[in-house]
Chain A
């Protein structure tokens, strides 16, 4: 073992400065193996000695940086849409999180991509970070200005929501033991990095690392959303650039976020290879303003502004030009983001382009979404600004309904054709799913159709559900459909009437309106809430977050009322010769039928996104809420059911969920307030 070790050392001594990448990667691999083997020794001093040697070796050559290599994000790298949605407003505006593959929570892959544009350096950063942590442990735990903050961050990442208070007293000895274990684990694949890794990484890179944390978990956010200073700083200007990484993961609600992995964050400009020379209208305008006599031919060489645009601008007043340029730039920027696979949220857009109105933003967004199959006119390089004179309201929502936008071959599109069927197709797919009672959740849906916005999804789904509720008029069961229409008119008036723009008052209003004089706004909100509860089976948890002002008892009141109606509806439907039922009983009864339908769907090609049947037939949120209520009541009355008994009532609730709830109750938590 030592022989190989010596060989490696001499090999690297030969030409440490000129180590080329493949050779370098081999060396790093060997060093990593060495460290891994050293962790197997019972004596920690051995690991320390080996680490020290590895450290010496690594210090003989430096970490490459973007200056040495031309940083350009490698082809095929995608914007991480989930991370992008979580990207906080206080982080640099012109940067974007990318997705990157890796093991564990891939901090080092993310750092490598941020640094060089690819993950080629991740193993080396990983090894270097381990060495740094092990050799400078005292500095990190006690010596830095930020030590206490770092340790507090470590405490927070070790706890779950319910234990946050107790974690404050987590003794130093334990933290140190955890630090040691984490350091040792760092040389293995699939390691999970923590805040202290980021501190060490900053030192390895000898530059600041901006640890970007979503705008959630506000109490602990300051510990994670920070610029991390290195132990010692590099001299060269190039290396003093800040490296950005982002904590990404799952957003549990607007305020709660669960970190799961790291995303590299790069300037938007490195994403696109500006082969066509991106037009910078502002520059053109500046030139125009400085020298009103500038000619098109002079400009043309510099920027890809078309002749017509140039002359139009030249004719206009200065203010007008400025405005046009801003709009042009804003639209182009939006289009770029869209092509990169994400859509700039309104808030970010407005921060960047405060001059452009909200409605214009939505018009453009709509255009781009509509044009997912068709290139948006006016943004093709040939005719920039062509639609600047269009009214901002053109291309309204009626287009979605009427136009059939089948993918046209030959038109460049932001997504490849396999993943980009036309909007209409996607919509009808969703409709089919709903009619089969297997509507994919937005999360799954987005995987296959990332360019379709959440609101569009919900709009379509609502529409499709309305259709289902009204009954398929064109089918043989039209009669029942009509009955249901009748019922719908009677019992679910709020939805249809408000849509038709007529009286908003629902017959249920007196029932739910506990306050004497609710404002029209409140009333509408309640109506909406109720509709969502009764018609769309909004889960209680979501309800509580969305409608804080409405009590939970109202929720359950609505639920119960809806349950009776629903039962009535179901009864009618079944009598009417086995029309698909959408209640839970219907689900289990018709499961076989659905499975058959689902597999047909799967076979027919584009529907590959259908979630696994097991998932589809998951417990509905209604029964979940009921089950929780049931358990809680039984818990309070000291007659807590066994799983067997429980599953008799709620066969669809998995055992693990039962035990999770049970544990929560024993721990004094409240599952649901009623």
Chain B
């Protein structure tokens, strides 16, 4: 039962809001990975296009919001930046619920952060909704001389875990935007897939009890 906990009631595919709203869909995305792999920098680069080389450990948890246009839809991304330190790991798992995408990050100059990927992936499977999409990102690819994790290893691990893989640099702004956009696209693909799979008969039968049990991903209209 453990790995289905987060799926009940909270897994929501894209919130289609009324026309008054300032967006068509909202996706909750989490960036996770060991401490100091560059999660906060990655987020700041994407949301504010800024970079600060000084390392400040994230306190608890925070999020930033960025609205993008993708496939003619206004998509609001609520991107949660989590503390990577081991002792706060359980706090952050409480925020996995409702997340539709994860960016699982390691530092290509830090073997340990790469070795922890497996564990992080287990965390996702344990605490998030089954349909959550994950992208593996090797950050700090600008620091080629200090690289200890070869790209090939990253790619293989990603393949093994069933994730897509990017190498990126928040500092040099390499692949940052691409990472987020690819994640959004995967989420959208998954959304239309589950829409196609939706069987009206089954959905109809579930009405009324839907809240109380492990729901199929709520099928909301998305054509993106």
Residues on A facing B (Cβ under 8 Å): 26, 29-30, 33, 36-37, 39-40, 42, 78, 80-83, 99-101, 103-106, 157-160, 162-163, 166-167, 170, 173-178, 180-181, 184-185, 188-190, 192, 248-250, 252, 258, 260-261, 443-444, 446-448, 450, 608-609, 656-657, 659-660, 662-663
Contacts and interface: CB of A to CB of B under 8 A. Distances in A.
How many of chain B's residues touch chain A, expressed as a range?
35 or more
B61 A181 contact: yes
B211 A261 contact: yes
B87 A260 contact: no
B17 A656 contact: no
B119 interface: yes
A100 B211 contact: yes
25 contacts: A29-B21, A33-B20, A39-B65, A40-B64, A81-B209, A99-B212, A104-B10, A106-B9, A159-B90, A160-B94, A173-B59, A174-B59, A181-B80, A188-B26, A188-B78, A190-B15, A192-B10, A249-B8, A250-B5, A258-B5, A260-B5, A443-B213, A447-B205, A450-B209, A656-B126
Contacts of B94: 157-160
Contacts of A40: 64-67
A494 B141 CA distance: 68
B202 A608 contact: yes
Nearest to B206: A447
B118 interface: yes
A444 B153 CA distance: 42
A609 B203 CA distance: 10
B163 interface: no
Contacts of B202: 608
Chain B facing A: main interface SS: mixed
Interface in B43-72: 48, 59-67
B41 to A, nearest CB: 14
B150 interface: no
A25 to B, nearest CB: 9
A574 to B, nearest CB: 34
B90 A163 contact: yes
Contacts of B20: 26, 29-30, 33
B121 to A, nearest CB: 7
B35 to A, nearest CB: 14
Contacts of B67: 40
Contacts of A444: 213
Given A37-B22, A261-B211, A663-B122, 6 more contacts: A100-B211, A157-B94, A174-B91, A608-B205, A659-B121, A660-B2
Interface in B88-120: 88, 90-91, 93-95, 97-98, 118-119
A189 B17 contact: yes
Given A29-B20, A99-B212, A192-B98, A185 B63 contact: yes
Nearest to A40: B65
Contacts of B60: 173-178, 181
- B2, B5, B208: most-surrounded residue (chain A CB, <10 A): B208
Nearest to B44: A42
B203 to A, nearest CB: 10
A583 to B, nearest CB: 24
A157 B91 CA distance: 9
A230 B66 CA distance: 35
A181 B125 contact: no
B3 interface: yes
B91 A170 contact: yes
A672 B20 CA distance: 54
B119 A174 contact: no
Nearest to B204: A608
Given A181-B60, A659-B118, A659-B125, A250 B8 contact: yes
A185 B9 contact: no
- A80, A167, A178: most-surrounded residue (chain B CB, <10 A): A178
B1 to A, nearest CB: 6
Contacts of A177: 59-62
Nearest to A541: B1
A185 B60 CA distance: 14
Contacts of A175: 60
A158 B95 CA distance: 8
Contact of B212 (A33, A83, A159, A173): A83
B9 A260 contact: yes
Interface in B1-33: 1-3, 5, 8-10, 12, 15, 17-18, 20-22, 26, 28
Given A36-B22, A160-B90, A181-B63, A42 B48 contact: yes
Nearest to B60: A177
Given A181-B61, A181-B63, A659-B118, A105 B9 contact: yes
B10 to A, nearest CB: 6
Contacts of A36: 22, 65, 76
A174 B95 CA distance: 14
A448 B88 CA distance: 41
Contacts of A447: 205-206, 209, 213
A180 B90 contact: no
Interface in B182-224: 201-202, 205-206, 208-209, 211-214
Contacts of B90: 158-160, 162-163, 166-167
B136 to A, nearest CB: 15
Contacts of A105: 9-10
Nearest to B2: A660
A174 B5 contact: no
A180 B62 contact: yes
B206 A260 contact: no
A443 B125 CA distance: 22
Nearest to A163: B90
Which 9 A-B pairs have CB atoms at the shortest separation, nearest pair first? Answer: A177-B60, A656-B125, A82-B212, A163-B90, A659-B122, A174-B60, A177-B59, A261-B9, A178-B60
Contacts of A100: 211
B158 to A, nearest CB: 15
Contacts of A181: 60-63, 80
Contacts of A37: 22
A663 B10 contact: no
A248 B93 CA distance: 20
Interface in B119-167: 119, 121-122, 125-126
A258 B97 CA distance: 13
A190 B211 contact: no
A105 B6 CA distance: 11
A201 B129 CA distance: 28
A448 B153 CA distance: 48
B211 A99 contact: yes
A172 B156 CA distance: 41
A125 B87 CA distance: 35
A76 B119 CA distance: 45
Nearest to A30: B20
A175 B66 CA distance: 25
Nearest to A606: B205
B209 A185 contact: no
Contacts of B61: 177-178, 181
A81 B213 CA distance: 11
A166 B87 contact: yes
B78 to A, nearest CB: 6
B125 A174 contact: no
Given A30-B20, A250-B8, A192 B97 contact: yes
Nearest to B61: A181
Nearest to B121: A659
B162 to A, nearest CB: 9
A33 B23 CA distance: 9
A248 B26 CA distance: 25
